[in-house]
Amino acid sequence: MAKIHPTAVIDPRAELASDVEIGPYVVIGAQVKIAEGTKVQSHAVIDGLTAIGRANLIFPFATVGTMPQDLKYKGEPSELIIGDHNTIREFASLNPGTVGGGMITRVGSHNLLMMYCHIAHDCIVGNRNVIANGATLGGHVVIEDGVIVGGLVGIHQFVRIGTGAILGAGSMVSKDVPPFCNATGDRAKLHGLNVEGMKRRGFDKTKIDTIHKAYRIMFRSKLKINQALEKIRGELPPLPELEQFTSFIAASERGVCR
């Protein structure tokens, strides 16, 4: 049976699994769905067309699913979909999508969203990411998997951050950051690879060295991007991670950090 504090305000139309825990003064709107094992601590607000998966932990004063901060938003029934085993810390805010972004904001599973971070409308956040205190994702940002976003980082609208990348604290990121790269500064520039992150993901020395070679061809030679991609694909051994790296760069619309 759900454990709901008597001071919580829950619309009777909300759908809560039988074992969720709802703390004091929590407010939950009519279209909210919360799956098994999720715990919502005091004073959090969950509203809108929001679906929250299993075993999430939502801390006090988090704001989840309230209307997008977009002047073009006119009340359309856009969604916020959150996966499983996420930790959403105090005062974090997550907004649903808009017409201009496909009507959905999506957060995967096993993410840590620290205090005061903001996930804006139409963002796509993958799995096992850490988004630190005060970091802000503008609308339509894509964070792939295993990314670390440092404290007070600002990410411009429509920017993509590739798998395994790391963004240094205080960075202002206005262009795409390729997989496995280390970016920092205002405006953010590349500072090599996230080698420690690759080691933690179980990459062996051969794989890391190969990605290093690709990085040097792409960003330390004087080749144009298409020439560098051709050289990487023609000279380096095929690896799934290398394909992630090259495909990400080839698909970039904003251009990549350099």
Half-sphere exposure of 40 (CA within 13 A, CB side): 34
Nearest partner of 240 among 179, 165, 176, 177, judged by Cα? 179
169 and 154 in contact (C-beta within 8 Å)?
no
DSSP β-bridge partners for residue 36: none
C-alpha 44/C-alpha 245 separation (Å) is 39
Please count the other Cβ atoms lying within 10 Å of the Cβ belonging to residue 9.
Answer: 11
The active-site residue, picked from 139, 150, 151, 164, is 139
User: Can 19 be counted among the known catalytic residues?
Assistant: no
- What is residue 249's three-state secondary structure? helix
Among candidate residues 122, 126, 151, 156, the one labeled active-site is 122
Q: How far is CA 87 from CA 62, 97, 237, 249, in A?
A: 11, 21, 38, 31
Of 121, 134, 145, 162, the catalytic one is 121
Pairing of the two strands 189-193 and 181-184: antiparallel
Residue 139 designated active-site: yes
For 82, the enclosing helix (H) or strand (E) is strand 79-82
Q: Please state at what angle helix 240-251 crosses helix 205-219, rounded to 10 degrees.
A: 20
Structure tokens at 170: 């205080």
Question: Mapping DSSP to helix (H, G, I), strand (E, B) and coil, where does residue 16 land?
Answer: strand
Q: Which residues are catalytic?
A: 121-122, 139
